[in-house]
Structure 1
Amino acid sequence: MTQDVSDNSTIPYFSDVMGSPPYLWQQQFYAACQRGEPPEAIDIPTGLGKTVCVLLLLLARLQNPSLPARVVYIVDRRAVVDQTAALIETWIERIAELPRLAEKFHAMAAFPSDLPVQLGVLRGGLADDGAWRVDPARASVVIGTVDMVGSKILFAGYGDGRSRRSMHAGLLGHDAIAVLDEAHLSPAMDAVLHAVAKLQGSRFFRTVTLSATGRGRSNALCLSAEKETHPAVRQRLHAVKTLDLQRVKTPSERVEALCTAALAHRTGAIAIFVRTVGDARRIASRLLKSIGDDAPDRVALLTGTLRGHERAALMSSAVWRTFLPGRPRDPDAPASFLVMTAAGEVGVDLDADHGAMDLGTLDSMIQRIGRINRAGERSATVTVVATNTDTE
């Protein structure tokens, strides 16, 4: 049964940190956490602030100290770890700038610290500074990939010595709430987390799964579209996206058709999604060749094969900035193109003006299209190119 919490009261300090009032589903989630009953799943369309549940859990613990001290946010992609960590770091900085709020977090800790909330990042290619391990009583947010967090919870952490393994298992698997983003992509991790919760008991370890594909659990917290009156939510729910379906005979023709569809847009941020790294590279190469001299500032590639420094360079590039939500838009600026595989489908916070893509699974298409015209501020065109074999 879908949870429908009627408590619409304001969330203390939320607007001070976020700069805007909460959505209805966020109020419902906070109210449930405040009662000590966080929902097991959140099934909300992409672009409606699911990551904010981390902040809501932190704020709810100030009202209900029985909630876990650590929020462990687990994602399936390394690129998402970095982007999410940067976002949560801005929230922690904002909390530190609010003396009364910061003092509430400091009062719940065992040892003094400069930061009211500690942040830990666990992913391959990045050293963990370990600050979140120093004070188990202090509110902490730990962000990591499925492999890194999963191995540590199971006493087999990558790179951990014998003593460190038990420490990480204790900190991540006890007095913690695990938030698994896009749980449908990591069913094994979902099963592990629920097994740990069953062994520990809900008082010591809880899980929340996030999804935007409509495949959440029966007791998931879902968006009440008919009750949601927030203007931004309604605008996103009613965003105009026109679908243009094209059929071609061969995979090579599909690549050519995707390039043609993308280049037809003279301005804006154009997202191109394909299933394989090979197709992504071919499309990026074709775009670079077609655009000419200024192509490096207008074309970028995001795949799961990027190394750490390559992802960092991409996320600091001019192309990446043209796809960020809330960015200033120059109607006269030439189009920018971001070519992506599944690495750009899940968890990455992007808002493209138009899109072109090959045909994927239903879950994949939901994620892809959800990253086009997310804010609903204009009309968007989504071109889908398929061969006959794609639908067999």
Structure 2
Amino acid sequence: MDYSTFFQKATGFGGPYPYQQRLAVEDWPDLLDVPTGLGKTAGVTLAWLYKRGWRSGRRETEPDEATPRRLIWCLPMRVLVEQTAENIRAWLRRLHIFGEEAGQSKVSVHVLMGGEGDLKTWVEYPEEDMILVGTQDMLLSRALMRGYGMSRYQWPIHFALLHNDCLWAFDEVQLMGAGLPTSAQLEGFRRRFPLSRKSRSMWISATLNKDWLNTVDLRPHLDTLQSLSIDHGDREQAGDRLQAVKHLGQAPVSLTKETRKQQGLQDYIEALCDLVLKQHDTGAQTLVILNRVERAQRLYRLLRNRRREGSGDLLIHARFRAAERAEQARRLREEDDRDRIIVATQAIEAGVDISSKCLITELAPWASLVQRFGRCNRYGEHQGEGASVLWVDIEDDADPLPYSVEALAAARAKLTGLTSASSRDLPATEEPRPVSAVLRRKDLLELFNTDPDLSGFDVDVSDYIRDSGPPGLQVFWRDFPDDPNLPEPQSSPSREELCPVSLGQILEFSRRKDTVLWYWDTLDSRWTRLERDPRPGMTLLLRSADGGYEEKIGFDPTLKGPVSIPPTDEAAVEEGYTDDAFSRQDRPVELAQHLENVAVQVGSLCSAVGETDYRDYVVRAGRWHDLGKSHPIFQATLHACEEAPPGFLAKSPCKAKHERPYFRHELASMLGWLAQHNGQPNADLIAYLIAAHHGKVRMSLRAMPAEEAPAHVTRFARGVWEGDRLPALHFDGEHSEETTLKLALMEIGKGEQGPSWIERTLRLLHEHGPFRLAWLETLVRIADWRASAAEQQGAHGP
């Protein structure tokens, strides 16, 4: 099928623009500079599918070697990410290549929004083509090994799969803030550190400035970055869209320093409401974009009081739960847009395909204004008298946040004397990239260690992800008694329950009388009352009775009514450090058989993803990974019920807990391996892959804060004591001798076992780089999952 036919079948529209055709048949550009409304999402997605060999119903050609297996859409705003994902699903369905979930040998689509729903599924199938859609908060935090809204023990897997075999599409980069230099630095690092499979990045915007990517580690490659923009053919075909009439003028309302006072803010909102109602055409749609959530919420409330009952008006900003965002997307897509007023924040600038006859917007940086103008007369549908855009000035001594006074002043200068907001009449974007924190090589390498500090908290990566605007963390509500001691257990939040909030808003909420916040303590494996200020990236539990949310308003710390709990599927309990759910299975499995099964699965997975260079080491790590389950402590747990058969077990139906609370069998496995292979070629790499296969013992080796051992035990860590013994074991053609475990590796410097564990792991990190090392540990972990699932189904092997 030729690309034009392919494109038409997928979209249901006419043929592609010339630039979209070039995306599909020429080399990938690094920068895509295309005006808003010209189908950038469809252009990139369908070109990726075509280059991966997908046609109608199946893969018809071999994938292009320069086109990675995973396409990642990174959006700067959370609002209506689902809309982008649903558009992509619709194209895949028309082509009959859509997989409802991973594992169906078709193309699946996954939204990464936090919550337990996206923690595995897609990561279990690294050999499949798939499309990931998410915000820069969710995606970049995972790419920094500190994934927001997910189990910390899954961080290394997401990190590995987002840096290997991926095409990153960074959309509307002018809105990314601190995330933009981070995206550039990560691309620079991927060109510097070894990868298992090649990855690449594409930065996309209607207001693209190449100098924004001039960061310290991408700078050497800046001159070689290739750009693609529209040409005469595109302009001719776009016709009405690029020449759509948009009359531009300044609104008679402005934001002054008086609005810093409550009465002044109320006067401003009321004057703005009068202006909106005066400008609104009841036969069309009006869009109002404000820079702050609080102002948008106030205006929407006032309009709701003054408009007719049952109007289809909408409030859109980033502080809604997924359930409410899905309803907004449905209403935008299905309901009549006549006589509708949409009040929104800058969240509407990216990923939302809507058009209005009248646009009223507060002053914003020029690149943002260009995006907002693109939501007015977007398709050229109002060609008679045209459409209108009114901009509301924000005076220098007023409230510029989340922007700077300098950025607003530069935009105001461009607007002065400008009477048209049509694409062809707008001046270019020349503003420099705002100053923000820049991720350096040392920072990335330090983040590879996923152990929390002794208080249970982590390095804050928010400065590398977002330097202004929402959101800082996530919250969810549950019904439970008004008791400071939270009843156990509490299941993990589902995606539908999570609501993003800013740090300022959650601090205001937490300081209300009798309001309590809880966070998940990964060391103690329980929800714990938060006694300090929240930090970015946290997921907090709130009481429904404390309020803070309304379905049509979103998060508002002043709201007092009880919060409704959206219906969700049965959720799992949040994973804690001591949990080992994979070992507690309905069907018992012999340890030797499990070790053999995992080795077979690792070999099969390496073949599927094309891992040849390190195949032998990964397979051997899989073969030895659970040797530590022969430890008496672990076997006692697995035999603590009548259903457990005799012999060494890897899986058991017994639900008991270990006698030593923090016991980690993977540490015992690693120590048993090194006791017999220390000093052999790549023994340290295999040891690391063995230790890391649950994500709980990786770079460092230390006792847990509350861990104890008898006085005669000289060293102990993670429930393993100096002098513990592993019995002899035969498995899969190998033999492990009876072994006495030593923990001299905990000590700094060279000791009786040679270099310390931290020295060994840092040497591995230096030799292999973070991307490849995480990739290799991910292969072992996924193979372990697959073997465990097959065993419970009564099958052995891949």
Shift of the 320–216 alpha-carbon distance from structure 1 to 2, 3 Å rule, reads: farther
Quick one: distance in 1 between partners of 2:5 and 2:380?
Answer: 29
Letter in 2 for 1:223: I
Q: Deviation string for 1:189-228 (max 9, x for gaps)?
A: 322431343135796010011111142467421111x232
Work out whether 1:309 is the aligned partner of 2:360. Answer: no
Shift of the 76–140 alpha-carbon distance from structure 1 to 2, 3 Å rule, reads: same
> How many Å apart are 1:85 and its aligned residue?
0.9
Quick one: distance in 1 between partners of 2:64 and 2:21?
Answer: 19
Work out whether 1:132 is the aligned partner of 2:126. Answer: no
Quick one: distance in 2 between partners of 1:161 and 1:279?
Answer: 36
Letter in 2 for 1:56: A
Quick one: distance in 1 between partners of 2:342 and 2:249?
Answer: 19
Work out whether 1:255 is the aligned partner of 2:272. Answer: no
Shift of the 50–22 alpha-carbon distance from structure 1 to 2, 3 Å rule, reads: same
> How many Å apart are 1:71 and its aligned residue?
0.6
> How many Å apart are 1:273 and its aligned residue?
0.7
Quick one: distance in 1 between partners of 2:200 and 2:247?
Answer: 41
Q: Deviation string for 1:307-333 (max 9, x for gaps)?
A: 22232232233x6645xxxxx77xxx5
- How many residue pairs were aligned? 353
> How many Å apart are 1:286 and its aligned residue?
2.1
> How many Å apart are 1:254 and its aligned residue?
4.7
> SS of the residue aligned with 2:192?
helix
Letter in 1 for 2:90: T
> Are the equivalent residues in 2 in contact too, given 1:274–1:341 (CA < 8 A)?
yes
Structure 2 counterpart of 1:242: 247
Shift of the 135–372 alpha-carbon distance from structure 1 to 2, 3 Å rule, reads: same
Structure 2 counterpart of 1:50: 40
Letter in 1 for 2:79: A
> Are the equivalent residues in 1 in contact too, given 2:288–2:344 (CA < 8 A)?
yes
Aligned with 2:21 (options 24, 27, 36)? 27
Quick one: distance in 1 between partners of 2:300 and 2:373?
Answer: 20
Which of structures 1 and 2 has the bigger CA Rg? 2
- Spell out the pairing of 1:267-346 with structure 2 (5 A cutoff): 267-294=283-310, 297-317=311-331, 321=334, 333=338, 335-346=339-350
Structure 2 counterpart of 1:38: 28
Structure 1 counterpart of 2:183: 190
> How many Å apart are 1:90 and its aligned residue?
1.0
> How many Å apart are 1:88 and its aligned residue?
1.0
Quick one: distance in 2 between partners of 1:148 and 1:388?
Answer: 34
Letter in 2 for 1:342: Q
Aligned with 2:7 (options 9, 14, 21)? 14
Shift of the 12–129 alpha-carbon distance from structure 1 to 2, 3 Å rule, reads: farther
Q: Deviation string for 1:112-137 (max 9, x for gaps)?
A: 95462021211134721743333323
Quick one: distance in 2 between partners of 1:248 and 1:270?
Answer: 17
Aligned with 1:223 (options 226, 230, 237)? 230
> SS of the residue aligned with 2:162?
helix
> Are the equivalent residues in 2 in contact too, given 1:76–1:146 (CA < 8 A)?
yes
> How many Å apart are 1:353 and its aligned residue?
2.1
Quick one: distance in 1 between partners of 2:182 and 2:378?
Answer: 28
Quick one: distance in 2 between partners of 1:29 and 1:182?
Answer: 18
Shift of the 304–10 alpha-carbon distance from structure 1 to 2, 3 Å rule, reads: closer
Aligned with 1:357 (options 347, 350, 361)? 361
Structure 1 counterpart of 2:113: 123
> How many Å apart are 1:61 and its aligned residue?
1.9
Q: Deviation string for 1:136-181 (max 9, x for gaps)?
A: 232111112212222322333342344x333222222111111111
Q: What is the aligned-residue RMSD (CA, Å)?
A: 2.7
Q: Deviation string for 1:284-308 (max 9, x for gaps)?
A: 12211221423xx332111222222
Shift of the 241–77 alpha-carbon distance from structure 1 to 2, 3 Å rule, reads: same
Identity rate, percent? 29
Work out whether 1:173 is the aligned partner of 2:163. Answer: yes
Quick one: distance in 2 between partners of 1:255 and 1:169?
Answer: 44
> How many Å apart are 1:375 and its aligned residue?
0.3
Structure 2 counterpart of 1:4: none
Letter in 1 for 2:46: L
Quick one: distance in 2 between partners of 1:292 and 1:11?
Answer: 46
Structure 1 counterpart of 2:470: none
Quick one: distance in 2 between partners of 1:387 and 1:149?
Answer: 33
Shift of the 155–359 alpha-carbon distance from structure 1 to 2, 3 Å rule, reads: closer
> Are the equivalent residues in 1 in contact too, given 2:79–2:317 (CA < 8 A)?
no
Structure 2 counterpart of 1:144: 134
Letter in 2 for 1:198: R
Shift of the 198–301 alpha-carbon distance from structure 1 to 2, 3 Å rule, reads: same
Quick one: distance in 1 between partners of 2:333 and 2:306?
Answer: 20
Quick one: distance in 2 between partners of 1:303 and 1:289?
Answer: 20
> SS of the residue aligned with 2:347?
helix
Structure 2 counterpart of 1:3: none
> Are the equivalent residues in 1 in contact too, given 2:24–2:46 (CA < 8 A)?
no
Shift of the 305–10 alpha-carbon distance from structure 1 to 2, 3 Å rule, reads: closer
Letter in 2 for 1:14: F
Letter in 2 for 1:246: A
Structure 2: stretches of 5+ with no match in the other structure: 54-60, 212-224, 260-264, 399-407, 410-798
> SS of the residue aligned with 1:127?
helix
> Are the equivalent residues in 2 in contact too, given 1:270–1:352 (CA < 8 A)?
yes
Quick one: distance in 1 between partners of 2:313 and 2:394?
Answer: 25
Greater relative contact order, per chain length (Cα 8 Å cut-off, separation 6+):
1
> How many Å apart are 1:80 and its aligned residue?
3.6
> SS of the residue aligned with 1:157?
coil
Letter in 1 for 2:17: Y
Quick one: distance in 2 between partners of 1:385 and 1:136?
Answer: 49
> Are the equivalent residues in 2 in contact too, given 1:258–1:385 (CA < 8 A)?
no
Shift of the 284–14 alpha-carbon distance from structure 1 to 2, 3 Å rule, reads: same
Quick one: distance in 2 between partners of 1:188 and 1:126?
Answer: 29
Quick one: distance in 1 between partners of 2:78 and 2:226?
Answer: 29
Shift of the 92–131 alpha-carbon distance from structure 1 to 2, 3 Å rule, reads: farther
> SS of the residue aligned with 1:343?
helix
Quick one: distance in 2 between partners of 1:368 and 1:209?
Answer: 19
> SS of the residue aligned with 1:350?
coil
Quick one: distance in 1 between partners of 2:156 and 2:293?
Answer: 38
Quick one: distance in 2 between partners of 1:39 and 1:200?
Answer: 22
> How many Å apart are 1:257 and its aligned residue?
4.2
Structure 1: stretches of 5+ with no match in the other structure: 1-8, 97-101, 107-111, 323-327
> How many Å apart are 1:21 and its aligned residue?
0.8
Shift of the 248–268 alpha-carbon distance from structure 1 to 2, 3 Å rule, reads: closer
> SS of the residue aligned with 1:199?
coil
Structure 2 counterpart of 1:377: 381
Between stretches 354-363 and 149-158, larger displacement belongs to 149-158
> SS of the residue aligned with 1:180?
strand
Work out whether 1:208 is the aligned partner of 2:202. Answer: yes
